[in-house]
Amino acid sequence: MRTDLFDFELPAERIALRPSSPRDSARMLVVQPDSVLRDRTVAELPQWLEPGDQLVVNDTRVISAKLNGRRIGRDTEPKIEATLIKRLDGSRWQALVKPAKKLAQGDMIRFGNEGKVCLLGHLDAEVEARGNDGELTLAFSLHGPALDQAIAETGTPPLPPYIASKRAPDDRDAADYQTMFAANEGAVAAPTAGLHFTPDLEAALRGRGVDIVRLTLHVGAGTFLPVKAEETTAHRMHAEWGRITFDTAAALNAARAKGGRIVAVGTTSLRLLESAAADDGTIQPFRGDTAIFITPGYRFRAVDILLTNFHLPRSTLFMLVSAFSGLDTMKQAYAHAIASGYRFYSYGDACLLFRARD
């Protein structure tokens, strides 16, 4: 399909720079197959679900993946900004680096402030390789837990560019940009639909008879990138690591056998569930990378309902929701959201999508 089919105009003032408080007070646009749009709030989510439904959340935790430093070992020491995007092993990460043209294979980068990190005063990394899409492989001087600690002390949460370009990150973001389910470190972007949840909302869902189960997908920086290819078939997705345990798969399959629906919280949960689903919709245990790219025409096997935020134009995520609820329906829904003052993107409002009839 042509990428420009997924384009739309969004006024800059619709981009949320802070989350709603409390989180579940965010607005929620309900989009059903009848194409009727209903304006609600996230706190009303339990009213739209039924006893026996399974709410699937992503328990990944965002790391402090944005690092600032300088190149060392040559005559000049230009400033370097790196965003870690994928761990390769105990000491190596793939990273997006600016300005990448200032770095060559074998160069050393020194991150951190003197006297702060791991008693060494700095965190060093060597440029080990350059990738085809502009990413670099960084080999750090520390390994394992020591490296994790150094990154946590040196770095900051990598706010999406559409927020970071409008204001500086601050201490509030360290808490605001984590979901209440965050447990397993490894994401460089938040699974933003999960940001709407509060203990009160969780209690209301359980009181409704809705079970909450967890999976892990470490969200990568590719989630921020628009599709630059003219045709969707020419776009290459970045792989992300995920895990669905045997117990989670068994719980979902047992609930579905009894008529319960699977409700994905966020496109990250949906993508991993669909990656793990057999042709008959059975969820299999999963551990590894997924680069699933969902566009209109995809046959959904696992997920019945999707809670998600409002996404970037020309993005893989807007393509995904268009596949889930229909392109015309989603264009209508987004036009309504823009006209009605909904807040967009990571800190914005939500929409509750019911899968279009096949």
Please tell me the predicted confidence (pLDDT) of residue 358.
62
Q: Which residue from 17, 24, 40 is spatially nearest to 195, judged by alpha carbons?
A: 24
Q: Please state the pTM of the whole predicted model.
A: 0.90
Is residue 163 assigned to a domain? no
Is residue 254 assigned to a domain? yes
**292 in the same domain as 184:** yes
Is residue 269 assigned to a domain? yes
**Series of mean pLDDT values for 10-residue runs along the chain (358 residues):** 93 94 97 90 98 98 92 91 88 90 92 56 88 84 92 86 84 91 93 97 98 96 76 87 97 97 98 97 96 95 97 94 96 97 96 88
Residue 74 per-residue DSSP state: S
Please tell me the predicted confidence (pLDDT) of residue 221.
74
**342 in the same domain as 288:** yes
**35 in the same domain as 90:** no
Q: Which of 155, 189, 212 is the last residue of a domain?
A: 155
**22 in the same domain as 139:** no
**192 in the same domain as 338:** yes
Is residue 161 assigned to a domain? no
Is residue 336 assigned to a domain? yes
Is residue 73 assigned to a domain? yes
Domain region containing 34: 3-62+174-354
**326 in the same domain as 249:** yes
Task: Write the DSSP assignment of 96-165 as a string of letters.
Answer: EEETGGG--TT-EEEES-TTTSTTTT-EEEEEEEE-TTSEEEEEESS-HHHHHHHHHHH-B----HHHHT
**341 in the same domain as 198:** yes
**131 in the same domain as 11:** no
Cis peptide leading into residue 22 (ω within 30°)? yes
Please tell me the predicted confidence (pLDDT) of residue 117.
43
CATH number reported for the structural domain that contains residue 52 in this entry: 3.40.1780.10
**113 in the same domain as 260:** no
Please tell me the predicted confidence (pLDDT) of residue 34.
77
Is residue 312 assigned to a domain? yes
Burial class (CB in 10 A: 0-12, 13-18, 19+), 37: middle
Q: Helices 316-325 and 327-339 sit at what angle, rounded to 10 degrees?
A: 110
DSSP 3-state of 259: coil
**222 in the same domain as 310:** yes
**317 in the same domain as 228:** yes
Is residue 164 assigned to a domain? no
Residue 246 per-residue DSSP state: H
CATH number reported for the structural domain that contains residue 116 in this entry: 2.40.10.240
Q: What is the domain count for the chain?
A: 2
**300 in the same domain as 183:** yes
